[in-house]
């Protein structure tokens, strides 16, 4: 009887087995590192391109975070301009343009079209992040997309860099925290500008096209802030 219990207890009763653990860790690295670092690379490039916006973020940092203190996630609600800039970096950067593909689990009727069960569907995130009906200047970097006339942060339902629905990015909250803390921490410590001989007009905002959209390689100068 005891042997039987031992045998039964080695049978996986749960999805938390070794295979799942390995895949979950791989997911964290594959899905969770390049996405955030690519977004920060877009952020630094855009701050070099638009130094007046970089300065405005730094002014907000100085107003709300004491010198010598690192930003905390609590600071975000007091920093609408920085929040808007980070959202706009994600919208403009559009780093996962094709989203991940999905398959219809049943026959689906979509706007009068029948999509049979098992069809691969690629929901383009670009079509929302650059939708002319949702954004004033979809092809320009414009933090005002996320600010009202009083400078308060405003959400927009078309902000979908993490996709939508049940299979939306599992790391969305973590990614948003990371982006705020890394971006604000970097701009608190450094001012970014292009190297000698490169003007801000020279900085290229066209992405390197692949499965993800990454900035074309660029050089950065970083001056330590006083
Ligand atoms: C700027 C950062 C990030 C962006 C833009 C992003 C974007 C996305 C997108 C578009 C998807 C596909 C959703 C879909 O299939 O509809 C996805 C899935 C996923 N992401 Fe992220 N992601 C980011 C950061 C992270 C982080 C930090 C983690 C975890 C540490 C993470 C974990 C995942 C996982 C596990 C999935 C698969 C979810 C599923 O299939 O149910 N992501 N992400």
**Statement: residue 146 has pLDDT above 60:** yes
Q: What is the mean pLDDT of residues 143-155?
A: 98
- Say whether 121 sits in a helix, a strand or coil: strand
Mean pLDDT of the chain: 93
20, 23, 31, 87, best to mutate for ligand 1 pocket (most atoms within 8 Å of CB):
31
Question: What's the rounded Cα separation, in Å, for the pair 151 and 208?
Answer: 33
Rounded to an integer, what distance in angstroms lies between the CA atom of residue 139 and that of residue 106? 36
| Three-state DSSP state, 181 | helix
Stretch 90-113: mean pLDDT, rounded? 96
> Cα of 92 to ligand 1 centre, how many Å?
17
What is the Å distance from ligand 1's center to 33 Cα? 10
Q: Which residues pair with 110 in a beta bridge?
A: 113
**Strand locations in the chain, DSSP E?**
102-103, 108-110, 113-115, 120-121, 190-193, 207-208, 214-215, 221-224
* Structure confidence at residue 136 as a pLDDT band (50, 70, 90): very high
Of 3.20.20.60, 1.10.260.40, 3.20.20.140, 1.10.630.10, the CATH number of 24-95+137-224 is 1.10.630.10
| Of 10-14, 40-44, 47-51, minimum mean pLDDT range | 10-14
> What pLDDT shows up at residue 15?
78
The band of 3, judged by pLDDT with boundaries at 50, 70 and 90, is very low
Banded pLDDT at 204 (limits 50, 70, 90): very high
Query: Rounded to the nearest 10 degrees, what angle do helices 80-93 and 172-189 cross at?
Result: 110
Token pair listed for 40: 């920060």
Q: What is the mean pLDDT of residues 40-45?
A: 98
Give the model's pLDDT for residue 109. Answer: 96
Q: What pLDDT, on the 0 to 100 scale, is given for residue 1?
A: 34
Query: Which pLDDT does position 189 carry in this prediction?
Result: 97
Look up the ipTM and state it.
0.99
Cα dist from 54 to 61, 191, 203, whole Å? 11, 8, 15
Dihedrals phi, psi of 50, to nearest 5 degrees: -125, 75
Is the pLDDT at 2 greater than 80, yes or no?
Answer: no
Give the pLDDT mean for 162-184: 96
Q: Where are the domains of the chain?
A: 24-95+137-224
Confidence of residue 5 (pLDDT cuts 50, 70, 90): very low
Reported confidence tier of residue 190, pLDDT bands at 50, 70, 90 = very high
4 CA to middle of ligand 1, Å? 42
Mutation test of ligand 1: which of 22, 166, 169 has the most ligand atoms closer than 8 Å to its C-beta? 169
**Does 221 belong to an annotated binding site?**
no
Give 120's contacts (C-beta < 8 A, 6+ positions apart).
101, 102, 103
Burial readout 179-198 (b: 16 or more C-beta within 10 A, e: otherwise): bbbbbbebbbebbbbbeeee
Burial tier of 205 (Cβ tally within 10 Å: 0-12, 13-18, 19+): middle
pLDDT at 11 (0 to 100): 57
- The pLDDT of residue 12: 58
> What whole-number percentage of the chain has pLDDT above 70?
95
pTM of the predicted structure, to 2 decimals: 0.92
């Amino acid at each position: 009887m005891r042997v039987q219990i031992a045998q039964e207890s080695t049978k996986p009763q749960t999805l938390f087995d070794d295979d799942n653990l390995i895949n979950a860790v791989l997911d964290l690295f594959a899905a969770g590192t390049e996405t955030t670092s690519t977004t920060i690379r877009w952020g630094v490039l855009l701050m070099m391109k638009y130094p007046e916006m970089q300065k405005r973020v730094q002014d907000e940092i100085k107003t709300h975070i004491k010198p010598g203190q690192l930003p905390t996630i609590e600071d975000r609600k007091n920093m609408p301009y920085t929040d808007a800039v980070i959202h706009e970096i994600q919208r403009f950067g559009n780093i996962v343009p094709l989203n991940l593909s999905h398959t219809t689990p049943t026959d689906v009727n979509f706007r009068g079209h029948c999509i049979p069960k098992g069809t691969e569907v690629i929901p383009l995130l670009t079509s929302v992040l650059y939708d002319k009906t949702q954004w004033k200047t979809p092809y320009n970097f414009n933090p005002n997309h996320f600010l009202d006339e009083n400078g308060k942060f405003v959400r927009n339902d078309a902000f979908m860099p993490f996709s939508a629905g049940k299979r939306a990015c599992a790391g969305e909250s973590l990614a948003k925290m990371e982006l705020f803390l890394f971006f604000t921490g970097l701009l608190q410590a450094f001012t970014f500008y292009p190297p000698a001989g490169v003007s801000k007009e020279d900085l290229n905002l066209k992405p390197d096209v692949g499965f993800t959209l990454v900035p074309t390689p660029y050089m950065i100068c970083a001056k330590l802030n006083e």
